[in-house]
Structure 1
Amino acid sequence: MTRTPLAFLIALVLAALAAGASTAQPHLMLNDAPLRICPAAAGHVPDFTAPDCADIPLRNLDPQGRELWVRTGFDWDGALWPQDRPIGLFVFGKASSEVWLNGLRLGANGAPGADAATEQPGRMDAVFYVPRDALRAGSNELVLHMSAHHGLLHLGWPIHMIRFDRYQPPTALISAAYAPSLITLGIFVLGFVFFAVMAIRSSDREGSALVSVLSLIAGCQLLAETSRGLIAYPYPVHDVRLVLIVGFTALFGLTLLAYLLHRFSGLGPGARLLRVICLAALLVPALWLGQGFDAKTLNAFLLTALAGIAGCALWAWQGKPGARPHLAVLGGLTATALLFPDAFVDRYFYQAIAGLLLFLFVQQAIALVHERRARRLEATRADRLEIALSQARQKDHPVQIELVSAGRTDYIATDRIAQLKAAGDYVEVHFENGQTSLYTGSLTGLEASLPPTFLRVHRSHIVNTGFVSALERDASGVGRLILTNGMDVPISRRILPKVRTALAEAAE
């Protein structure tokens, strides 16, 4: 069972690598270029040689809660893009910005300001059209005016990227990176709908409902993650997006633990809920201490996964069916996250979650099959018990049925009747002693008043199983019953297997 989701996970990873290779385009990245930053000057470009300016890498560029100016230089050989392809300058980060290239103002994303009142928040990801003649072969200078006063959180790496590339909407550039993850959305939607229906129709409502909720949470987290490639939102929304991603990761892990407890622990609802609440309390400091939101997301996944591994190890040791495959899959995902934390969070998280959910889908489906099989077996046992009780009642207190013939009503004990046969608008009643009487009525009408020891074996015949001595079947597949009074009764080929089973149950 563990091979199918793991194989699917490997296929998704390969698809992600292929997609990443196919979307690669020539670009001029300025992330490694040295930056010179200066505090804001009164409405004009400052003197970048002033002593209060400093040289920093892009990773340390932080306009949060302040206004600053940035200058960087770069070289261009003039041959990176074809002449018919427009060029754009992409600035991805939590800031409002205004940009100049070689003294030419390219435009603004929002309006930088000294405080929140004077700043107009820009988009998280912005592109500025670059006239081809604004770029010079050789040395070039880029100046940015930036501020970020409207954020809810203080990020450790607020400016993600500055680069020249083919001009296009920033969402298109980002969505290409998210494309491998988006292919898992169909799995999440399918899982949510299917197990929501199963939660209504099956007796294991809690297990199916938890798998459905897991799929819903994973889908919501994926939409929160990929929203940056779908909507050009203002930079303050980015903080909300990050909180949602971490929150959905923690909620997914807690729901996964609730599912495992339901499946294997044997505890009552209150005891299971208490354990989930305890894990949620442990998550709070782990998320708080995480440096950066990628680390917080990884901590939320690892802590809940480790709790699930500990539980599955205990249940496997106790011999609980299905615990070992769950332990293997959770252990594999956790080991991958520990060995390759950056790649796991940045690239393959949703493919891994999709693989985990596929495994849970299969396991839950198997559990539902076993449940239905157990319910059928229970119903069969109940039918056998009913027949046995009916036979016992027939011996001590035979059921009497009302039969009408020529204006006369007879009350006949059913333990005397061997067979009933349809005869047009009448019913032939064959008794144990070989006597036959004709009564008014239909076979279907009488069937409802007969005890369970009577079995309809043909559209025209009902027999008392207590008088059956043998079941025969000829070469054509047609069967017949031999009764103790010497009569034989045909059996419809369609219901022959059911008759055989019913007779076997009645004999036990």
Structure 2
Amino acid sequence: MNIRVFTYIILLLACACVPLKAQSFYSIDRSSVIVCQTAERPDFSSSDCERIDVWDVDPQGTHFWMQADIDIPLSLLSSDQPLGLYFAGKASAVFYMNGVRVGASGKPGHSLREEETGPMDTVFYLPRSILREGKNTLVIEMSGYHGYIKLVQPIHRIGVAEYVQPTDIILRSYSGSIIPFGVLVIGVFYFGLLALRSETPKTQIWVPLMAFFALGQLSSEISRGLFPYSWPFHDIRLMAILFFGIAASASLLMHVVQRFLVKWQARSMLVYLLGLCIPAFVAPGFDAKSVAVFLTAAIIGAVVSFSAYRRGDQAGLKYGVAFLIFTISVHLVPSGFLDRYYYYFVAALLIFLFAQQIKQLEAERAQQAEDQARANRLQQMLDEANERVNPRRIKVSHEGKVELVSASDIAYCKGARDYVELQCNNGKTILCSHTLAELENELSGSFLKVHRSYLVNGDYAETLEREANGAGKLLLKTGEYIPVSRRIMPKVRKALA
């Protein structure tokens, strides 16, 4: 399988990605949000209440009540589909629409002990009888004491739409991930096997490892749409996404360092890994952290690659340009990057790295073949020299007795049904009971099989002539012509050269 076939598979995966119909979603009015830090349900006009933006609503480590308006159009109320109230966030909550309790996600409380957790993404059926065209009032009691880490935006969505399972909506948003997912899976298994079969697996394994960790990151990302989970588990999912992102970035750096920096690899790698930790701690939000870590790896990779190009390594230019394109692409589409574009860019970068690795493996194999051919030629020369100094003698069963025949005296061997004729340089013919295959194994070195019925001593070869049909004939010093089959002709010409 080469890079062209690999590309065809990715195109087929792209064709398998079918666009899905988007859902009309009506969110709460951001300017109408009122939050009251009270234990009992307030009237939302007391001094304990304040008006804030919906993205500033933060239930982590606290308990409060919230009121907001949702404008519902007549077109939605007139549809035949059931309606639902959607909530996605790190909080346990109870929901009231126009004064009617419509459902609860867990149980909010004043403390960790009183609180019960619910699903991260949930939907509640909304009877049309409690809704009205235009402004509808939503009241939520909310708390969030069970989280492991504090998020910048713990509330992801609140609104009304046609009733669909939340996991279906999430999977719909990740539907395009099948393309990078296919790239990563193929990269992990195919190029992982290539790396393990390579003569230098330690240097070839980092790109497949990068694909493996990126696959783990993507799998953690889409897990939200595969199964419903409680909102405290969302923190674990985010930490898994960041961990796999850091591991993929470190694998990328290891590949670049071992590819372009021969000296001081351990010291360089330690410095670069420390550099990856900086954006992991500084960047706000886990999406930003995951992007910043890989972006840092790409920038460092570009610097190392261009430096290698300045030292004369032509491959450094290709790597540097690829990392530069990746970096620019990130800055061109900063919004919604992780979900929409991140894995596409990572997959594209991996395809480039896979192509470079294939070229490197092919060059490695070509070098190995050349080294093996050189070793074979040297061994043949040594065998021939040893044969001249110490001629071998083979045992030949002939006319009921065993005769010792010097290999240097044999001009060629000719297969004759169940026997083999040994043609000696003095014109003598010896009929022996050996097979031609047995003699070929015993008479290694200067002997060469030129035809299915002929084994020739190369020391007696004079000239090789090619015939019109592609076959040939070999003139020996004894004056005899030996046929050379068309299939073996290139091998004979190379050996005699």
Answer yes or no: same fold by TM over 0.5: yes
Q: Which runs of 5+ in 2 are unaligned?
A: none
Look up the equivalent residue of 2:434 and give its one-letter code.
G
Q: Is the 8 A contact 1:182 1:222 kept in 2?
A: no
Does 2:142 align with 1:146? Answer: yes
Matches within 5 A, 1:34-45: 34-42=32-40, 45=41
Q: Distance in 2 between matches of 1:473 and 1:15?
A: 52
Q: In the alignment, does 2:299 pair up with 1:303? A: no
Aligned residue number for residue 27 of structure 2: 29
Which range is displaced more, 27-36 or 246-255? 27-36
Q: Which residue of 2 aligns with 1:91?
A: 87
Once the two structures are TM-superposed, the CA of residue 194 in structure 1 deviates from its matched residue by 0.6
Match of 1:359 in 2: 352
Deviation, structure 1 residue 119: 0.6
Structure 1 vs Structure 2 CA RMSD: 2.5
* CA distance in structure 2 between the partners assigned to 1:18 and 1:29 by the alignment: 27
Q: Do the aligned partners of residues 133 and 11 (structure 1) sit closer, same or farther apart at CA in structure 2, a change above 3 Å counting?
A: farther
Q: Is the 8 A contact 1:470 1:482 kept in 2?
A: yes
Please list, as runs of the form range in 1=range in 2, the aligned pairs for 1:389-408 lying within 5 A after superposition. 389-408=382-401
- 1:437 maps to 430
How far the C-alpha of 1:311 sits from its partner, in A, is 0.9
Distance 1:427 1:79, change over 3 A: closer
Give the Cα separation in 1 of the matches to 2:74 and 2:285. Answer: 38
TM-score by length of 2: 0.93
Superposed displacement of residue 433, structure 1: 3.1
Identical aligned residues as a percent: 36
The separation in 2 between residues aligned to 1:300 and 1:41, in whole angstroms, is: 42
Residue of structure 1 in register with 2:216 after alignment: 220
Greater shift after overlay, 444-453 or 198-207? 198-207
Which consecutive segments of 4 or more residues in structure 1 shift more than 6 A?
A: 14-18
Secondary structure in structure 2 of the residue aligned to 1:420:
strand
Of 77-86 and 328-337, the range deviating more from structure 2: 77-86
Instruction: Structure 1 unaligned segments of length 5 or more: list them.
Output: none
Which amino acid in the other structure matches residue 29 of structure 1?
A: S
Out of 254, 257, 261, the residue aligned to residue 253 of structure 2 is 257
Check the 8 A contact 1:472/1:480 in 2, yes or no.
Answer: yes
Question: 2:365 — aligned with what?
Answer: 372
Shift of the 138–253 alpha-carbon distance from structure 1 to 2, 3 Å rule, reads: closer
Alignment of 1:118 onto 2:118 = no
The structural deviation recorded for 1:435 is: 2.8
Q: Distance in 1 between matches of 2:387 and 2:15?
A: 70
| Distance verdict in 2 for CA 1:11–1:157, change over 3 Å | farther
Equivalents in 2 of 1:117, 1:182: separation in Å? 42
**Match for residue 422 of structure 1?**
415
Quick one: higher RCO (CA 8 Å, sep 6+), 1 or 2?
1
Q: Does 1:383 align with 2:376?
A: yes
Query: Aligned partners of 1:349, 1:16: CA distance in 2, in Å?
Result: 20
Once the two structures are TM-superposed, the CA of residue 285 in structure 1 deviates from its matched residue by: 3.2
The code of the aligned residue for 2:361 comes to: L
Q: CA deviation at 1:338?
A: 3.0
**Residues 70 and 159 in structure 2, CA contact (< 8 A), matched pair in contact too:** no
Q: Deviation string for 1:89-108 (max 9, x for gaps)?
A: 11111111110001111010
Name the residue aligned to 2:70.
74
Query: Counterpart amino acid of 1:437?
Result: I
Given the alignment, which residue of 306, 331, 345 partners 2:324?
331
- Partner Cα separation in structure 2 for residue 195 and residue 311 of structure 1: 24
Q: After alignment, is 133-142 or 76-85 more displaced?
A: 76-85
Q: State the Cα distance separating 1:15 from its structure 2 match.
A: 9.3
Query: 2:435, 2:427 → 1: CA distance?
Result: 21
CA distance in 2, matches of 1:198, 1:93: 44
| 3-state SS in 2 of match to 1:37 | strand
SS at match of 1:184: helix
Please tell me whether the aligned partners of residues 33 and 74 of structure 1 are also in contact (alpha carbons under 8 angstroms).
no
